Amino acid sequence: MQYSIKQALNLGSSQLREVGIDNAAVDVRMLLEHSLKLSHEALILKQEHKISDIEFKHFFELIERRKKFEPIAYLVNKKEFYDLEFYINESVLIPRPDSETLIDEALGYFDSKSYVKILDLGVGSGCLLLTLLHHFQNATGVAVDVSDKALEVTKHNYQKFKLKNPVEFLASDWNNLQLNNKFDLIVSNPPYIKNKDIQNLQKDVKNYEPLTALEGGDDGLECYRKLIPIIRNLLKSQAIAIIECGEGQHEELAEIAKNNGLNIKKYSRDLAGIVRCLTVSLL
């Protein structure tokens, strides 16, 4: 039996709902668009179109993986962030809308034509650094990540967006970071989840996303204690750093920053009203 697009959508949605997947219909639509290489509009217009056996087999392989709660972004290898579509795989944390707060703040501090030197510590997919370079066309960037595989994803996205900005890709952990330059803007979304809380995360996250991008030590602040002194040493005199934090962590993070000679310029809230990032500068 050859299934139509409409039949495949209904069957896939039913199977995902049976295992408790939220937004099953949306997930199935994305998986079928990916399998058939169709746009959302084309999928709607071709509801009665018959799917080939090979296409159906590929589609239901993805459905089976989603039934095990593998994230959609890894299945379709993409995720939208700040109106850009990033290539994503299991080597990097999936970009979240919360992190767009950092972009909003950075865009408010610099003119679009500014010659900004930007450093991203823990670059992952490149969603922060490359989005900023997309908006600051005269900027230059340094992408730092301990994972070679994560840097490959960043490089892929850099090429995908056809950015002209010069970028240095540096594989290093923070303890051994060797940089001779100082920066106008430093951004970072470090791991900040308490180790004991990892087990309470959604299955999509705890079973599939890289733990090194999630685990923040016993109190969730371990990475900040390493990160803040590095930021202080790499900031220019009139520069800023914008650092993401977890819910309720901003006061403790502010203390770490102050104890390391940094000034808290601003707390910024995400769309849910949670303080999502701190903007800091030298005293």
Tokens of 254: 């502010």
DSSP 192: -
Q: Mean pLDDT check: name the lowest of 93-97, 141-145, 178-182, 231-235.
A: 178-182
Whether residue 149 is predicted with pLDDT greater than 90 in this model: the reply is: yes
CB 263 within 8 A of CB 283: yes
Whether residue 233 is predicted with pLDDT greater than 80 in this model: the reply is: yes
Between the two ends of the chain, the Cα-to-Cα distance in Å is 70
Contacts (Cβ under 8 Å, ≥6 apart) of 20:
none
- The 3-class SS string of 90-148 reads CCCCCCCHHHHHHHHHHHHHCCCCCCCEEEEECCCCCHHHHHHHHHCCCCEEEEEECCH
Whether residue 79 is predicted with pLDDT greater than 90 in this model: the reply is: yes
Are both 5-68 and 78-282 of the same fold?
no
Average pLDDT on 188-200 reads: 92
CATH of the structural domain 78-282, one choice from 3.40.50.300, 1.20.1090.10, 3.40.50.150, 2.40.128.640: 3.40.50.150
CATH of the structural domain 5-68, one choice from 1.10.8, 1.10.357, 2.40.300, 3.40.1000: 1.10.8
Break the chain into its structural domains and give their ranges. 5-68, 78-282
What pLDDT is recorded for position 174?
A: 86
C-alpha distances (whole Å) from 251 to each of 217, 247, 254, 276 are 17, 10, 5, 11
What pLDDT is recorded for position 3?
A: 87
CA 52 to chain centre: 35
Whether residue 1 is predicted with pLDDT greater than 80 in this model: the reply is: no
Q: Mean pLDDT check: name the lowest of 35-44, 226-235, 246-255.
A: 35-44
Q: What is the pTM of this model?
A: 0.93
Whether residue 43 is predicted with pLDDT greater than 90 in this model: the reply is: no
Of the chain, the percentage scoring pLDDT greater than 70 comes to 100
CB 118 within 8 A of CB 142: yes
